[in-house]
Amino acid sequence: MTHEAIILAGGLGSRFGARTKVMPKGFITLDEAGEAIVKKSVDKLIAIGVDHIIIGTGHCANFYDELAYSYNGLVETVCNEDYAKTSSMGTLERCIPKVLSDSVFLLESDLIYDSIGLWVLQQDKDVNVILTSGKTGSGDEVYVKAIGEAKEGAPLPLLDSLGKDLTKDATLSELTGISKVSKTLLDAMSEYYRQKRADKEEDKIDYESVFGFLVSKEKIFVHKIEYYNWAEVDNEDMLTRAKDLVYPKIKEAESLRRTRREVLLNPGPSTTTESVKFSQVVPDICPREAEFGDLMSDIARDLTRFVADDGEFNTIFFGGSGTAADEAMVSSCVPPGGRLLVIDNGSYGARLATIARVYKIDMDVFKSSPYEALDLKKLESAISNGGYSALAAVYHETTTGLLNPIGEICALAKAHGLITIVDAVSAYGGIPMDLKKLGIDFAAATSNKHIGGMAGLGFVVARIEELEKQRDWPMRAYYLNLYDQWKNFLETKQTRFTPPVQTIYALRQAILETKCETIEGRYKRFTDCWKILVSALDDLGLEMLVDRTLQSHFITAVKNPKNLPRYSFDEFHDMAKTLGFTIYPGKLGNIGTFRIANMGDITTAEMVRFCSVMKGYFRSL
């Protein structure tokens, strides 16, 4: 898989005249939305899994610097100060040392294109592939001559030569400016360019012409899509063609590949992005291949880094839902003969207690109201008098939307030397947290809630120092044993048993999108959605179960209206469902509630729309 890209964006864009005097070509826009074409390109690269984009800049470099900044570390710029003298190969040369992997997408900044082109290159097994199309008649064509014919199941045709002035024949295709190249080829291109300058020949060389010069040394393949929708914008005529002829086709083709939008307002699994959904569609792979082990290992490191220092904590995977991670923690992290105190202020706290009971762990339950603040004084007294070795609690009680003061709870536990076991299933990835600062030793989470992936992977972020202590403890569970799973993963980069392969690919994409948004950004988006919801509930005179100062902003439990006898959750649910919103019933035995979650890929605009649906329903009663 290709996870890096270089965008060549140093050029002056002089063929445009006034338009690009004070702005680089990549910042041209095509519609009222006013999104720069290079931003569209960056977003398409990220959507296909690229997590490191290097933009080679020159003319008006500050535009790209600002753009890069908005991607929170995924995009960097390298400035070619000599851009006016060196052409695109000079810019590419400066980008190459930044490349970290063996496979890179190489693109020009002045392109618009259907994202399917990146997908096609991603599928090609060959490492060096130039994407070409049938004839466009755009006016600045670079023609590509290839050897051999494209046939299903056969190797791709090999590049023979390319240039603007090739003798035209029917076999030629057109260079799109989108390629996939190996680090080896990039290094060879650099070397060629260095040599040319040493020989005092030419500083100004187009990067694509170097492909042609290297065909005798490197195998470069040509993948032609006859009717590919793409355009380059080098001058006003090309821009008109791009806007009027090509861009509408790209938009249509891409929209046809989207799934129907369903906004899940249930407390997870939550709405996923299109790119997360599509990231599961990958060639079959045996998960025991080193490539897959590396993927899991990178994911584990990233999941740790969201909440802790990966020198002090490690993430351990289990195929299973969030409850599997809870069960792994509870069954593995209470020392043999130890005593556990479980805080139960909702059904997930109760579930932790049930798990401990099943494993016959010596345990007490500290009960507290599921919709009122926990009494920390009472908890302290329970902790200090019980002779416990561990404490288990839920960070965010999804039952009611109550956010427990987990830092204060764990501080009390730590003051008495307890191991802290926290169900962070509906908090991880949604709210910034630092496990060390919070005093958490073990935190359970899942692939499908705030992190935005698919269901199927439970994981525990664990303090290494505490894990080490479990080395000689007898196993209570086999599949869910934390220590064994951890040791095995450290040694082999493999889970002991079959991992949920496609869920893991989706998780990689979800992590990438979380990095792009940041957890702080995500928390703000959820809070903004929550504020919209709360204001609509206020307008309707509906009462929330939990005081707003104690709420997580992820789940809002709303009391069933007493004054509206015709209210029916099922009717409300069915009506909202037909309009694309899925809501969820309450989970408290004694108080009737319904719940609205804002998790996952939800926008404030969608929350506004849902609120008008909700108002419509309640006002019809």
Q: Which is nearer to Mg ion, 207 or 572 (CB)?
A: 207
Q: Which is nearer to ligand PLP, 24 or 322 (CB)?
A: 322
Phi then psi for residue 158, to 5 deg, are: -90, 145
Q: Which is nearer to ligand PLP, 173 or 398 (CB)?
A: 398
Out of ligand PLP, Mg ion, none, which partner does residue 344 contact, by CB within 5 to 8 A per kind?
Answer: none
Phi then psi for residue 164, to 5 deg, are: -75, -25
Quote the CA–CA distance of 86 and 199 in Å, as a whole number: 15
Out of Mg ion, ligand PLP, none, which partner does residue 110 contact, by CB within 5 to 8 A per kind?
Answer: Mg ion
Q: How far is the CB of 593 from ligand PLP (least distance, A)?
A: 15
Quote the CA–CA distance of 436 and 263 in Å, as a whole number: 34
CA 359 to chain centroid: 36
Q: How far is the CB of 569 from ligand PLP (least distance, A)?
A: 18
SS3 432: coil
Q: Which is nearer to ligand PLP, 59 or 595 (CB)?
A: 595
Out of Mg ion, ligand PLP, none, which partner does residue 323 contact, by CB within 5 to 8 A per kind?
Answer: ligand PLP
Q: How far is the CB of 71 from Mg ion (least distance, A)?
A: 23
130 and 219 Cβ atoms separated by less than 8 Å: no
- Helix and strand totals (H; E) in the chain: 21, 25
Binding pattern to ligand PLP, positions 414-453, x when CB under 6 A?
---------x-xx-------------------x-------
Q: How many Cβ atoms are within 10 Å of 102's Cβ, its own excluded?
A: 13
Under rule CB under 6 A, residue 600 binds ligand PLP:
no
Q: How many residues bind Mg ion (CB under 5 A)?
A: 4
Q: Is 541 left (phi over 0), alpha (psi -120 to 50) or beta?
A: left
Q: How far is the CB of 116 from Mg ion (least distance, A)?
A: 21
Out of ligand PLP, Mg ion, none, which partner does residue 423 contact, by CB within 5 to 8 A per kind?
Answer: ligand PLP
Q: Which is nearer to Mg ion, 232 or 397 (CB)?
A: 232
First to last CA, the chain: 54
Q: How many Cβ atoms are within 10 Å of 59's Cβ, its own excluded?
A: 21
Under rule CB under 6 A, residue 323 binds ligand PLP:
yes
- Within 233-262, which residues bind Mg ion (CB under 5 A)? 234
- Within 263-282, which residues bind ligand PLP (CB under 6 A)? 267-268
Stretch that binds Mg ion, among 140-148, 365-373, 386-394, 574-582 (CB under 5 A): 140-148
Quote the CA–CA distance of 393 and 406 in Å, as a whole number: 8
Q: How many residues bind ligand PLP (CB under 6 A)?
A: 13
346 and 391 Cβ atoms separated by less than 8 Å: no
Q: Which is nearer to Mg ion, 112 or 480 (CB)?
A: 112
User: From start to end of 233-280, where are the E strands?
Assistant: 263-264
Provide CB contacts within 8 A for 227, sequence distance 6+. 133, 134
- Which residue's C-beta sits nearest to Mg ion? 140
User: From start to end of 154-277, where are the E strands?
Assistant: 158-163, 173-182, 221-225, 230-232, 263-264
Stretch that binds Mg ion, among 103-111, 146-154, 178-186, 390-398 (CB under 5 A): 103-111
Quote the CA–CA distance of 368 and 576 in Å, as a whole number: 33
Q: Which listed residue (398, 481, 495, 514) binds ligand PLP by CB under 6 A? A: 398
Out of ligand PLP, Mg ion, none, which partner does residue 425 contact, by CB within 5 to 8 A per kind?
Answer: ligand PLP
SS3 244: helix
Q: How far is the CB of 57 from Mg ion (least distance, A)?
A: 15
Out of ligand PLP, Mg ion, none, which partner does residue 128 contact, by CB within 5 to 8 A per kind?
Answer: none
Quote the CA–CA distance of 38 and 61 in Å, as a whole number: 13
Under rule CB under 6 A, residue 370 binds ligand PLP:
no
Q: How far is the CB of 458 from ligand PLP (least distance, A)?
A: 7
The residue type at 445: A
Half-sphere exposure of 458 (CA within 13 A, CB side): 22
Quote the CA–CA distance of 183 and 4 in Å, as a whole number: 11
- Which residue's C-beta sits nearest to ligand PLP? 322
Binding pattern to ligand PLP, positions 324-363, x when CB under 6 A?
--x---------------------x---------------
Q: Which is nearer to Mg ion, 110 or 423 (CB)?
A: 110
Q: Which is nearer to ligand PLP, 323 or 582 (CB)?
A: 323
Burial code (b: 16+ CB inside 10 Å, e: under 16) for 6-42 equals bbbbbbebebbeebbeebbbbbbebeeeeebbbbbbb
Out of Mg ion, ligand PLP, none, which partner does residue 321 contact, by CB within 5 to 8 A per kind?
Answer: ligand PLP
DSSP string of 65-120, one letter each residue? HHHHHTTTTSEEEEE-TTHHHHHHHHHHHHHGGG--SSEEEEEETTEEE-THHHHH
Q: Which is nearer to Mg ion, 111 or 402 (CB)?
A: 111
Stretch that binds Mg ion, among 46-54, 194-202, 227-235, 248-256 (CB under 5 A): 227-235
SS3 286: coil
Out of ligand PLP, Mg ion, none, which partner does residue 234 contact, by CB within 5 to 8 A per kind?
Answer: Mg ion
Containing 342, the helix (H) or strand (E) segment is: strand 339-344
Q: How far is the CB of 555 from ligand PLP (least distance, A)?
A: 8
Interface residues toward Mg ion, by CB under 5 A? 110, 140, 232, 234
Interface residues toward ligand PLP, by CB under 6 A? 267-268, 321-323, 326, 348, 394, 398, 423, 425-426, 446
